[in-house]
Amino acid sequence: MPKTLSPLRNTDTSVTLRRLVVLRWWLLAGEVAAILVVPVLLDIALPRWPMLVVVGLQILANTLVARRINRTPAFDDGELFVQLVLDIVALTVLMFLSGGAANPLISLLLPPVAIAALGLSAGRVAIIAGLAVAAYSLLNLIYLPLPIADVERAARLHLAGMWFTFVVSVVMLAWFVVRMTASIRQRDAELAAVREKALRDERVIALGSLAAGAAHELSTPLATMAIVAGELAHDASLGEAAHADVALLRKQIAACKGIISGLTERAGAERLDNAAAVQADRWLSEVHRRWLELRPSATSDLKLAGRAPAPMIITDKTLEQGLLNLFSNAADTGSEVSVVADWDGEWLTIEVHDSGPGFAAPILEQAGREPFPTHAAGSGIGLFLAHAAISRLGGQLSLHNDGGGVARIRLPATVTT
């Protein structure tokens, strides 16, 4: 079976090819200048037209490669290998026409080898290196000598040419290696982000499975509690205050059963196929009202600061649960919870404020990307699940302290009604 290269490797090769094309244009400009200027300034006869024909073929090849790169998003290693072979062949022909291995520009055979070492497999690098060595060796034997009668002048010109070639090679290699290193670092950062997201999704799925099991186990005791609370509600011997407490208890039991039913329905990680577009202000008001029913002892206010009409946003059950977790974390500080929502044409911003001690430094640094131990004062698994739910829908969660803890949520808006 033929080998299949990964899209990431193909992308890296395309980037290397683009840089090779840019490098070639500078090299070709230098070759043309040298062919036209050297005979005039240094009084050295060169076979101009054969050399210009070779350079013209290089320009044609580089133009075709540049057009192909613009049309094709990715190339494999074979394309880069062929281009480097062509460079070595063209440079060898130019050196043959201008003094062979005695030409100080012979060191320009080194950059293709360095580029191959950075972007090709070991086998192809060995071939490129072998070609460069073979070309250098052959040019020691077969070449057209430069007509310089003065030996001392020839030595001075050779030393000056060696210095010039060294400078050019250093600049070319430094530029290419620096750019390649930057690309590698960027790719490593992207891979790290992908790995982190995959690990986070695995944790969310595992927590979903655990939640489904817990929901199944809790259904029986909740059913028993509902039966007992129903019997107490019909007990005429209880006072009015006791009946009010029983009514509250039944309401809380019903809310717990609703939560457990939802967990059972979406055991595991819920798909975005089940997400729906809702009007932001109505959705947020409903979520806030539901939370107040679950936390009747909490004190909270909701302020909708944006201009009507509110935008539409994509939500699902996991996002609602994540927002409820943030509300509960704020209420667990023992202070009043203030929820402020604002929006524009692109984003819905929700800020959850409390007047407690604020977030600790490790929590601010991780911002829910990792679960904290259960004793971490309301910033453990709930914050982690909130971050996961918001990220799944293209949103952002950030934490900071401003007279207490502030959790800021940004969700992408769709269309405005």
Q: Give me the pLDDT at residue 382, please.
A: 67
Residue 368 falls in which region: left (phi positive, over 0), alpha (psi -120 to 50) or beta: left
Domain 272-416: which CATH number of 3.30.565.10, 3.40.50.11540, 1.20.1250.20, 3.40.50.2000:
3.30.565.10
CB burial of 270-287 (b: ≥16 within 10 Å; e: otherwise) equals: beeeebeebebbebbeeb
Cα separation, 184 vs 178, whole angstroms: 10
Return per-residue pLDDT of the chain as tens, 417 residues.
344 444 444 556 777 788 888 888 888 888 888 888 877 776 677 788 888 899 999 999 889 888 888 877 666 778 888 888 999 999 999 889 888 887 877 888 888 888 888 778 888 989 999 999 999 899 888 888 877 656 566 566 666 767 777 777 777 777 767 777 777 777 777 777 777 766 666 666 656 655 655 665 676 677 777 777 877 877 777 778 888 888 888 888 887 777 776 665 555 444 444 556 888 889 999 989 888 887 888 888 899 888 878 888 888 777 887 788 888 888 888 778 899 999 887 888 999 998 888 887 777 776 656 555 444 444 456 677 777 778 777 888 888 888 888 888 988 887 544
pTM of the complete model: 0.45
Q: Give me the pLDDT at residue 219, please.
A: 64
Backbone angles phi, psi at 365, to 5 degrees: -70, -45
Q: Residue 189 CA to chain centroid, in angstroms?
A: 7
Q: Give me the pLDDT at residue 299, please.
A: 84
Contact 408, 395 (CB under 8 A): no
The β-bridge partners of 312 are 279
Q: Give me the pLDDT at residue 15, please.
A: 76
Which distant-in-sequence residues (6+ apart) come within 8 Å of 276 by Cβ?
314, 315, 316
Query: 3-class secondary structure for the chain?
Result: CCCCCCHHHHHHHHHHHHHHHHHHHHHHHHHHHHHHHHHHHCCCCCCHHHHHHHHHHHHHHHHHHHHHHHHCCCCCHHHHHHHHHHHHHHHHHHHHHCCHHHCHHHHHHHHHHHHHHHHCCHHHHHHHHHHHHHHHHHHCCCCCCCCCCCHHHHHHHHHHHHHHHHHHHHHHHHHHHHHHHHHHHHHHHHHHHHHHHHHHHHHHHHHHHHHHHHHHHHHHHHHHHHHHHHHHHCCCCCCHHHHHHHHHHHHHHHHHHHHHHHHHHCCCCCCHHHCEEEEHHHHHHHHHHHHHHHCCCCCEEEEECCCCCCEEEEECHHHHHHHHHHHHHHHCCCCCEEEEEEECCCEEEEEEECCCCCCCHHHHHHCCCCCCCCCCCCCCHHHHHHHHHHHHCCCEEEEEECCCEEEEEEEEEEEEC
Contact 231, 175 (CB under 8 A): no
